[in-house]
């Protein structure tokens, strides 16, 4: 078992209406199956967090990061695979057609734009991730308010 946590980067993509992009993980995923999630993933060997953030957005949506608006937070958790992770999440804006993300085939099944009043949607399958995704989204909306968006 590694002694250092696996590093992850996450993107809370914001649209012009102040909503956050979420996508549903496929039921076949080993970690957090069938759960609404943000864009993101593990850093590759030697990769910096910022580079991983941009790569993951491109891989999972087909969009490109245009602006990093700010840090949402760092989250430490242990997946049901027993591995500890340290995830750094950022608020971002992207370039591309926001109505037509290119979801990663086999990894995500659907998407939606989440308004703050829709946060309860993230309680679905809460037991799988102990409410982590909702906490991240709540922190993202708080960060949006703090920068006046």
The model carries a pTM of: 0.93
CATH code assigned at 74:
3.90.79.10
- Reading the block at residue 35, the tokens are 């759960």
Count of domains forming the chain? 1
At 128, the pLDDT band (50, 70, 90 cuts) reads low
Q: Is residue 122 domain-resident?
A: yes
Taking Cα atoms as reference points, which of 14, 1, 123 lies closest to residue 67? 14
Report whether pLDDT(77) > 60.
Answer: yes
At 1, the pLDDT band (50, 70, 90 cuts) reads low
Taking Cα atoms as reference points, which of 136, 126, 122 lies closest to residue 11? 136
Would you call 133 helix, strand, or coil by DSSP? helix
Residue 109: domain span: 6-146
At 129, the pLDDT band (50, 70, 90 cuts) reads low
Task: Report pLDDT digits (tens) over 6-27.
Answer: 999 999 999 999 999 999 999 9
The residues, any chain, with a CB within 8 Å of residue 48's CB and separated by 6 or more, are none
**What local confidence, expressed as pLDDT, does residue 4 receive?**
86
Task: Report pLDDT digits (tens) over 54-71.
Answer: 999 999 999 999 999 999
Q: Which residue has the tokens 């993951």?
A: 56
Q: Is residue 1 domain-resident?
A: no
Q: Is residue 117 domain-resident?
A: yes
Q: Is residue 125 domain-resident?
A: yes
Rg (CA), the chain: 14
């Amino acid at each position: 078992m590694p002694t250092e946590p696996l590093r992850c980067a996450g993107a809370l993509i914001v649209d012009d209406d102040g909503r956050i992009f979420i996508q549903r993980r496929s039921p076949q995923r080993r970690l957090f199956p069938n759960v609404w999630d943000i864009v993101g993933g593990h850093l590759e060997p030697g990769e910096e967090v910022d580079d991983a953030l941009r790569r993951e957005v491109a891989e999972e949506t087909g969009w490109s990061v245009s602006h990093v608006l700010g840090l949402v937070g760092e989250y430490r958790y242990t997946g049901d695979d027993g591995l500890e992770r340290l995830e750094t999440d950022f608020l971002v804006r992207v370039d591309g057609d926001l109505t037509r993300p290119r979801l990663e085939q086999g990894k995500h099944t659907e998407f939606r734009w989440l308004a703050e009043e829709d946060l309860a949607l993230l309680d679905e399958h809460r037991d799988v991730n102990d409410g982590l995704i909702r906490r991240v989204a709540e922190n993202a909306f708080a960060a949006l308010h703090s920068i006046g968006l």
